[in-house]
Structure 1
Amino acid sequence: MIRDHDEVYGRSLPFGERPALILIDLMRAYFEPGAELYMGSRDCLDSAARVLAAARSAGVPVIHTRVAFGPGGVDGGLFFRKVAPLRHLVDGGGPLGELMPEVAPGPGETVIVKQYASAFFGTVLASTLNALRVDTLVIAGVSTSGCVRATAVDGIQHGFVPVVVRQAVGDRDPRPHEANLFDIQAKYGEVWDEAAVLERFGPPTV
C-alpha cells in the first residue's frame, strides 16, 4: 500500500532563535528584459525587498550572494560549460552581475561570490553562519529550482533549518517553481509565506 504523502512527509522543523537572511543571486541578469536569464517577473524581488527591510529592522544578520567567474569561466568547471548564459558573468559579469538596487547590500552585510548553485559550495557561508551562531536560514532569491533548492538542501545538511519565503523566490517557469517548493517542504526544510516570516521577525530592535 502506498502511504499518503502527508503521512510520510508531514513533519515540520521549528523556526529557531537565531535566524539569518540570505538573498540569493538577486542580480540584474534575472530582471533585465532581454537578458538570457530574464525571468519575466519581478514579484519575488519586491517580496525579497520587504523581507530584507524587516530583517534589518529586527537586527537579523543579512547575507547576499552573487555569481561571478574568472577569465574563461575556469572556476565554474562543468557547470559553466553546461549553462550557457553563465558566460555573461565572467570577470564580474558587468552590469548583469550587479545586485538589484532594491536589495543592495547595506553596511556590514556580507556578500558571498559563488560559482555554483549552492551558496554553501566552495564558499565561507557555513563558517560565517556558525560564527554568528545561526540556527535558521531564511532564504529568498532565484531561482527556486536551482540555487534556492541547492542552498536549502545544503543548509539542512550543514545543520541549519532552511525556511524558504514562498513569495520571495522565483523561477522562469511556474512548474519547476511549484514542484521544488513542494519538495523543499516535504524533505529539506520549510516553506513559509512572506507574512509569516515578517511576523516571526517581530518588531524592530531599538
Structure 2
Amino acid sequence: MQLSSSDLPSQGVVFGVRPALIVVDMTVGFASPESPLGGKFDNEIAAAETLIQYFDSVGLPVYFSTVVYDNDSQQSVFRQHLPDLDMLARGSRWVEIDPRLTFSDDATLIEKTAPSAFFGTQLDERLIKSEVDSVVVCGLTTSGCVRATAVDALSSNFPVWVVEDACGDRNVDAHKANLHDLHAKYTEVVSLKTVSSYFANKKAEYDNA
C-alpha cells in the first residue's frame, strides 16, 4: 500500500514466526446482506477461509470473535448510538460464525461486547499463553471492529498484518481510508498473496525440519 508524502515516515517491523489469526466478527449478522449490519462480502469471506486453512495446516492458533449481548446494560451507550446492534442477542443466528468459514476443534471463540476483540476479553492473555509473537487480522468491518482490534493488538505490543483482501466494509470509502490509516500508523496492510508466500516458506521449513 502506498503512503503519501504527508504521512509520517515508517520503517515497518519484523513479523514473527508464530503468528495467530484473528477473524473479526465474520458472523451472520455482519456477513449477511439480510442483516442491517451486514453486506455482500463473498470475496472477503473466501479470502478469510483461505487464511484459516493456512493457519490450520501448520497448527497455528485461530481466534474468531463475535459480538454477543446478554442484557440491555451491556455497552448501552454504543447500542444507543447504533440500535441495530440489539439484534446481536445470545441465541440468535446473527451471532453465529458464518457457515462458509471452517471453525475447527482447535479454534477459539472470543465473545465480546465492544468493537475490539481485546477489550473486556482474555484474548491478550491467550495469545501470550500460546507463545504468539505476531498477529494477522481480517474480518468485518474494516472501519469498525477490524480497526479497533488491530490497534489494540499493536497496543499489546504485537506486530500486526491486516489482510486487505479479507476485510470488508459497507462503506467503500471508509474501508479504503481506514486501511490507509492503519498502514500509515499502526500495522502492515498486506495482500492475501503476501500471506500465501509467508506460509509457502513456513511449510517448506516444517517439511525440512
TM-score if structure 2 supplies the norm length?
0.91
1:65-80 to structure 2, matched below 5 A, reads 65-72=65-72, 74-80=73-79
**Aligned length, in residue pairs:** 201
1:103-182 to structure 2, matched below 5 A, reads 103-182=101-180
1:13-92 to structure 2, matched below 5 A, reads 13-72=13-72, 74-92=73-91
Residue identity in the other structure for 2:90: D
In structure 1, the gaps of 5 or more residues are none
Listed one character per residue, the Cα deviations across residues 11-36 of structure 1 (whole Å, up to 9, x for unaligned) are 21121111000111111112323310
Residue identity in the other structure for 1:4: S
In structure 2, the gaps of 5 or more residues are none
Q: Is the 8 A contact 1:22 1:65 kept in 2?
A: yes
Q: Is the 8 A contact 2:135 2:158 kept in 1?
A: yes
Structure that is richer in helix per residue: 1
- Structure 1's 31 and 5: CA in aligned 2 closer, same or farther, altered over 3 A? same
Match of 1:187 among 185, 192, 205: 185
> Secondary structure at the residue paired with 1:119?
coil
- Cα distance, 1:127 vs structure 2: 0.2
Question: What's the % identity of the aligned pairs?
Answer: 34
The RMSD of aligned alpha carbons is: 1.6
Runs of 4+ more than 3 Å apart: none
Alpha-carbon distance between aligned partners in 2 of 1:78 and 1:201, rounded to the nearest angstrom: 41
Q: Is the 8 A contact 1:137 1:163 kept in 2?
A: yes
- Structure 1's 33 and 4: CA in aligned 2 closer, same or farther, altered over 3 A? closer
